[in-house]
Amino acid sequence: MDFLVNLDVDDLGRAERFYSRVFGLKPGRRLGDGSLEMLGGPTPIWLLQKPAGSPASGTMGETRRYGRHWTPVHLDFVTADIDAAVATALEAGAALEQPVSTHAWGRLALMADPFGHGYCFLQFLGRGYDEIAE
């Protein structure tokens, strides 16, 4: 089974520039004016332009907002150089939410993109997660 990642954004051009610069993704297909496929990772990331304040779902009554928000789902991006990845992301408009931390398995940076989505950079050290796996 394949899967796709969909991210709502309020400015498709700005999101394309951010995800291209920070993650090295390239534009793929467009489905009309409001969606853009970004390629170059293990799965496509679709950027979906949705205005702030529009209904987020038909049943929950929530509306979209693009300030930092919490969701139980986030993306982790593995990098060989977390310091460079963080610096590039900050220059492109991301926020570092806590200082980079070091663990037995590697280094972790908790980030937020300019559209309120949380994500992490991971830099594995040694055997990565195998350092702590049982």
CA proximity to 94, closest of 6, 14, 34: 14
Three-class DSSP category at 115: coil
pLDDT tens for residues 61-87? 889 999 998 888 899 999 999 999 999
What is the residue-averaged pLDDT of the chain? Answer: 95
Return the percent helix, strand and coil in the chain, to nearest 5. Answer: 20, 35, 50
Full-model pTM: 0.90
- pLDDT tens digits for 96-112? 999 999 999 999 999 99
Alpha-carbon distances, residue 14 vs 36, 55, 73 (angstroms):
12, 22, 22
The full set of domains in the chain, from first to last, is: 1-51 (3.10.180.10), 67-134 (3.10.180.10)
